[in-house]
Amino acid sequence: MAYVIINKFIPATLYPLKAPYAMVPEYVTIHNTYNDATALNEIAYMTRNTAPVSYHVAIDDKYAVQAIPFTRNTFHAGDGPVGNGNRKSIGIEICYSKSGGPKYVAAEANTVEYVSHLLKRYGWGIDRVKWHQDWSGKKCPHRIIDEGRLQSVKDRIAKRLAELKNPKLVSMDEPQKEDDELKFSSPSLKAETEFTLQSKARREIIVNAAIASGAQPFWKERLNNGTITDGDILALAAKYTVAVNK
């Protein structure tokens, strides 16, 4: 799956209510939202309400939206002000979980990818992945529990993490991309250049995300009429803190 990462951080003035403690994360906790709102709407609601309830990231079929830095705690696990769930874990909400369907399937697949990257980033194993239920006994993530897939979702995360650590483990059945004639001085430069040469669909995701974060709407017109350049796409992604994972 492909998704766009958007940072929509809450103002620091909300830290006393939503994220009062400094945190060195040790776990990732997965939730289902139990409604059908988009990730951007989930974050908007969490930001504007006055309840001491919070989480770090909401993920849907298109976006992974982060609202609180991983260096701050959030109140998502139901285990109190000193519980490890609330004080030491990154809270991830999977959107569209009430009704399910294709959008939920895509949101869950994006979450598997996102969490796998988090585990790799921190050097963690699958044992660091927790369910909301693990901390407080609440039936959450409700859809994954109801469908009897707690272990299979963890298995998917573990498999993807292994692939990220060792790309040779990717199935040999997966089509292999031919090398371009271009040569690159570093892997990061190669990744950045390939990023600018994605399909129109991928460009549309980036432009829409940038506009949602404050970019001018005319960028959509330029995308549609073909006048937007690779440099424009990269500039929008950089300015509006947008990234694409796939």
**Region of poorest pLDDT, from 42-51, 54-63, 223-232:** 223-232
Q: Are 115 and 156 in contact (CB under 8 A)?
A: no
Q: CA 211, 64, 33, 87 torsion: positive or negative?
A: negative
pLDDT of residue 183: 43
Tokens encoding 221:
């017109």
Sheet holding 129-131, edge to edge: 129-131, 27-32, 89-94, 57-59, 63-66, 3-7, 242-245
- Domains of the chain (ranges; CATH) run 3-168 (3.40.80.10), 187-245 (no CATH)
Q: How far apart are CA 27 and CA 79, in angstroms?
A: 14
Residue type, 114: Y
Position 170 pLDDT exceeds 70: no
Instruction: Tell me the average pLDDT of the chain.
Output: 85
Indicate if the pLDDT at residue 196 is higher than 80.
no
Reported as half-sphere exposure (CB side, CA atoms, 13 A), residue 169 has a value of: 9
Instruction: Give the strand pairing for 57-59 and 63-66.
Output: antiparallel
Instruction: Give the tokens for residue 120.
Output: 């790799």
Residue 181 has pLDDT above 50, yes or no: no
**Span 43-54, pLDDT tens digits:** 999 999 999 999
Residue 208: pLDDT band (50, 70, 90) is confident
The residue type of 47 is: T
pTM over 0.75: no
- Percentage of residues of the chain with pLDDT beyond 70: 83
Q: Answer for the pair 21, 73: CB distance below 8 angstroms, yes or no.
A: yes
> Quick one: pLDDT at residue 219?
82
Whole-number Å distance between alpha carbons of 68 and 74: 8
Number of H helices, E strands in the chain: 11, 7
The pLDDT score that the predictor gives to residue 216 is 80
The number of CA neighbours under 13 Å toward the Cβ of 28 is: 26
Position 185 confidence tier, pLDDT thresholds 50, 70, 90: very low
Whether the Cβ atoms of residue 67 and residue 168 lie closer than 8 Å to each other: no
CA distances in angstroms from 160 to 113, 121, 127, listed in the order given: 7, 13, 14
Give 94-129 pLDDT, tens digit per residue. Answer: 999 999 999 999 999 999 999 999 999 999 999 999
Tokens of 216: 């001018």
Q: In terms of Cα–Cα distance, which of 15, 34, 31, 14 is closest to 23?
A: 15
Answer for the pair 88, 234: CB distance below 8 angstroms, yes or no. no
Give me the mean pLDDT over the 190-204 stretch: 60
Which residue, among 156, 148, 150, 158, has the nearest Cα to 127 in the 3D structure? 158
Taking the C-alpha atoms of residue 191 and residue 201, their distance in angstroms, rounded to an integer, is 18
What 3-state class would DSSP assign to 32?
A: strand
